[in-house]
Chains A and B, each alone.
Chain A
């Protein structure tokens, strides 16, 4: 048994830490975060140079050939410095869905562009009525010659505003909530019939609502069979985000402990109050729980003997725990900072908002606990 990252993964992590030390202080981050696109193209080019954008892709397309553990290794570090560059939308979601595509030409063409930093993408799945259900899809795609035309709307598409290419889930047959009958399409983000309304999210990242009105798309999944592979992509993305969340939790706990040691009230550091000590012990334990289940999840997902059911169950457990413990850690970090915790100037609120964002993506604690219940104890 070995629960540590390997040497190569440690080197990857170190390269992020080093780069962030020189280029991504909180003040530096604010500069790129506040420009129109919400991130720095220059940083993105550097990420490509440093090889980070190749991590999840197969070697045959010029990638590093990394698995979920490699991905988690980097997102954990990205979490610690609150990267606003579109790692999740382009690399994990778009890149993940692209890798899962059955169209080898498209992969050969696009994956190298992502790796070089020249292509931004977004994955458009959820719709105004979908809530967290990937099968609740109304957007339709109809064959027209050798292409399809798509009509419908997608909401809160991460990175949707800056994307060059979109992967869009649309219904090719069946009813609104059917899992079969869904297919994935590649759509040029600037094509006719695509209207994007971008906006800023609470964590500084960007999203867009996207409207498709007879927009031309290219089928890149098996016809009607996109649901399963897409759920796998979301599962991997979930784990990567949980790793990011663990980086956030660690940072929040450390910041809070440090603050209470320096903040004096009633003539003593507030860390000397036992009422607060126990609270910080609880948040420390909450983080350790997450870290343990994360490591366990990574091991199980890397083991080819793990059944699909078991994998889904472990991920659902991890997401539930991250949501609950992350909420506790975020709340306590603000509370123990007192008025300071409410300020935008302090890093705490920014970490908390990113964590809240993670805990709203693809499903909240209730959603994942419900999923866990169904996987463990049968249909409810």
Chain B
């Protein structure tokens, strides 16, 4: 057993660190923290990563990937979080691209992948529907063949950032079979198509990221079908597994923990600094100890992936524990700041604590979703019960 990096890894770590230091400029950081120009910041940042050749570590090297080992990917993620740099928007680079790479034809690869790599297209994910959330296979959005087109009717919901999207990848029903998982197809739909409407859904963090996307007789060329008709479920499942491994977010949580400690050094009461308060320390260490265990859990999965295994049900474990820890940290951060977390907007006249408080609360509110999306934690527990414990 050993948990140390090789000399080459350490060298790589220096390179990555230097990159973030230079390219993630204070100006970009300020705009990212401000949160108003979501698309502008994401595209600009992703283009920088693309220029360096680092935008798609998960892709095969010949298509624009990095060819990194799992350990190098881990180092990159850690350094990114330490630098406070945003992750890439996942829908194109991390979600639809792997599906196109594995199941798309050569034309589709040539048409879509380079534009994803260069952040020229913004993608969104059209899976959930009003009637099908946890029970995704119940989806009803219909695609009927009409010559060389599908005609799509129905509605998708909770579609993150659909308001910015050029394309949506959708699960649609192309047929009815005894097994509901059959008859689902994976199609790519141009958001500019006639009959596509995006309705905003405002969320409890007082922000707009969610939408309803309605399809009214939208004509989609059959060449936008991925793989075989009726086989979309298989492709989607492969993609869901992908989504789940990146969800432990150990590095992010470590950074958040470090920031909370800094905040708690500044907060004082008559007993002294908050960080010296045994009660506060207890809460902090309750979380940090779980986080340490999670980190090694994550590394163990990483090691077995290096050895060639695909992540199995342990991904569910990472997701449950990872999101629980994230939420505990979001809560503690808000309480560390205290009453300032109550202010809704960040206006100019208000002090630094108002800014910290308001953004911490916003993250706390949005953070409630982490245990709901990507397969809710209840559904993940069902997976473990069934697949690991054989119940």
Tell me the A residues contacting B by CB distance below 8 Å.
126, 128-133, 135-136, 155-156, 177, 197, 199-203, 207, 209, 264-267, 270, 273, 275-276, 327, 331, 334-335, 338-339, 341-345, 349, 352-353, 356-357, 360-361, 364-366, 369-370, 380
Residues of chain B lying within 8 A (CB to CB) of residue A276:
378
Instruction: Give Cα distance in the complex from A369 to B134, angstroms.
Output: 38
Q: Is the CB of B135 within 8 A of A364?
A: no
Please provide the chain B residues from 271 to 308 with a CB less than 8 Å away from any CB of chain A in the complex.
Answer: 274, 277-280, 283
Stretch at the interface among B145-153, B311-319, B340-348: B340-348
Q: How many residues of B contact A (CB 8 A)?
A: 56
The answer on a CB contact under 8 Å between B280 and A366 is yes
Contact B372 A155 (CB under 8 A): no
Number of A-B contacts (CB under 8 A): 139
**9 smallest beta-carbon distances between A and B, as pairs:** A349-B204, A265-B135, A344-B202, A177-B270, A200-B344, A201-B342, A339-B158, A266-B135, A156-B339
Please name all residues of chain A whose beta carbon is closer than 8 Å to the beta carbon of B78 when the two chains form the complex.
none
B353 within 8 A of A: yes
Shortest Cβ distance from B378 into chain A, in angstroms?
6
Given contacts A209-B349, A335-B372, A338-B134, whether A360 and B341 have CB atoms under 8 Å apart is: yes
Given A199-B345, A349-B204, A366-B283, the answer on whether A339 and B268 have CB atoms closer than 8 Å is: no
Contact B158 A357 (CB under 8 A): no
Judge whether B206 is part of the interface by a CB distance below 8 angstroms: yes
Taking the closest CB of chain A, its distance from the CB of B129, in whole angstroms, is: 11
Contact partner of A132 (CB less than 8 A), chosen from B203, B327, B338, B382, is: B338
Chain A's interface: helix, strand, loop or mixed, by majority? Answer: mixed
Cβ-defined partner of A133 (8 Å) among B270, B283, B341: B270
Taking a contact as CB atoms under 8 Å apart, the answer to whether A342 and B338 are in contact is: no
Chain B residue numbers with a CB within 8 Å of A177 are 270
Chain B residue, CB-CB nearest to A335: B371
Instruction: Say whether B267 contacts A131, CB under 8 Å.
Output: yes
Listed in ascending order, the chain B residues whose CB lies under 8 Å from chain A are 128, 131-135, 138, 157-158, 201-204, 206, 210, 267-270, 274, 277-280, 283, 327, 331, 334-335, 338-345, 347, 349-351, 353-354, 361, 365-366, 368-369, 371-373, 376-378, 381-382
A360 close to B279 (CB less than 8 A): no
Sampled A-B contacts (16; CB under 8 Å)? A131-B267, A131-B274, A133-B270, A136-B270, A201-B343, A203-B342, A265-B133, A265-B138, A275-B381, A331-B327, A349-B203, A353-B204, A360-B338, A360-B339, A361-B339, A366-B335
| Chain A residues within 8 Å of B377, by CB | 335
Judge whether A364 and B338 touch: CB under 8 Å.
yes
Task: Give the docked Cα–Cα distance between A380 and B177 (Å).
Answer: 68
Distance (whole angstroms) from the CB of B109 to the closest CB of chain A: 32
Which A residue sits closest to B368, measured CB to CB?
Answer: A334
Contacts of A128 in B (CB 8 A): 351, 353
